[in-house]
Structure 1
């Protein structure tokens, strides 16, 4: 099962378009769609020995190919190679696709990908709320950041997980992965607008985050602060997809 669509990214000077895909599939179902893979991706999958790593890889590649198909509907999925940069960020290799990036995230049996023009960065992250993982998250989240969410009466596990996804989404734009000091990614403000939580950053004022809490999951998009994204299609898709898990 998957849903895909478009996110218009409105700015004063122009509107950019991003494609998205949200997928929910078990490993046995993913193995039946390997025809979408580039030959080098097939080789990579065959070398993965553990089911969880294989599932994560396939979820990401499948979602990314479907997101790219929104922007490039005539390009065959198996002609696109999504490799990894030296810091593990996804890199598109294709004779037909240029100046385009993807951001990928996966958790459990869910994969999410965004395809967008290089001139307009976006990062995405999704995490399951896990009480057992709070201690690890506390090490990269300060009290001031946590207190930004206390007025919304959210469980502490939700607060910590949301803040983590916000920082992780920004790190994907910066292409630092988990190697950066997360204090640099400090959150300055969080407010609630409709179904979403909007965040800004202390040291990266040019960006903002849009976060959704859906059952046991938190999904966050990070994008330029002065962009007005039209997220109705994405919000509907992610709400529907995650509620089916």
Structure 2
């Protein structure tokens, strides 16, 4: 099986209408953004199709020497595999976003909250940011401009995860989940990936009380669900359901993106 079949990339078509706000409160300005800021690339690795030999081959092709050294330094195989697959997804997204680069010359390091960061001064890469997520089934990564913050998450919570995810849910939110026809596992999956993608966008990780990420609304929009937040009105999350994993993308609320343009099942 070719790398193209193992790792799929998607160019996200984003748009902010004329007059979309910039700034805060009464200081809001209006205007348009350059095309390169409103551009993002997503890579999805199906881990069920990626065997150890293929994973190692992709790591050799894509990873910087510092990333390969870090990969080799993990004591536990599971952690090493998740790191490697996440970096493979990230480098694939980066190459699709900037075809002129050599991925082995670019290091994706870690910030103080373990968030992925590009440590390079190569022309064309300034201002770019990366969000990475992985589950047992998928590794995903998204490249975007830091002037337009975004975050990605993929996961499939198990039955034992549900109590922690659903605990303390406001009655109104629980009622919305029921009215949408979601059972406890589906509701927990939606909330889990939405919170994680928002936390990555905010660079908080899940180190903040979960009620801070409380939804203000949850709506069905064709193939996906839309979550908006009580405390973060400037963002919304788009969540695609899936039998093998739920995918969430958090982006600025006034940025337009059609969920049907991203195939996920």
Distance 2:206 2:77 in 1: 23
Runs of 4+ in 1 over 3 A off after TM superposition: 139-144, 230-233
Length-normalised TM-score, structure 2: 0.85
Secondary structure at the aligned position of 2:194 is classed as: helix
* Match in the other structure for 1:34: 59
1:20 corresponds to 2:42? yes
Q: Is the 8 A contact 2:238 2:259 kept in 1?
A: no
Q: Which has the higher strand share?
A: 1
In the alignment, structure 1 residue 51 sits paired with structure 2 residue 77 = yes
Contiguous gaps of at least 5 residues in structure 1: 240-245
Deviation at 1:165, TM superposition (A): 1.1
Higher relative contact order (Cα pairs below 8 Å, separated by 6+ residues): 1
**1:62 counterpart = 2:88:** yes
CA distance in 2, matches of 1:140, 1:42: 42
Say which is worse superposed, 136-145 or 154-163, in terms of deviation: 136-145
Counterpart among 232, 246, 251 of residue 218 in structure 1: 246
Aligned to 1:160: 188
* Bigger share in helix: 1
Alignment of 1:58-207 (within 5 A): 58-96=84-122, 97-139=125-167, 141-207=169-235
Alpha-carbon offset, residue 71 of structure 1: 2.0
Deviation, 1:17, is 0.7
Aligned length: 237
For the aligned residue pairs, the C-alpha RMSD in angstroms reads 1.6
Partner Cα separation in structure 2 for residue 140 and residue 46 of structure 1: 41
Give TM-score scaled by structure 1 length. Answer: 0.91
Range with bigger deviation, 30-39 or 184-193: 30-39
Between 145-154 and 75-84, report the one with greater CA deviation: 145-154
1:11 aligns with 16
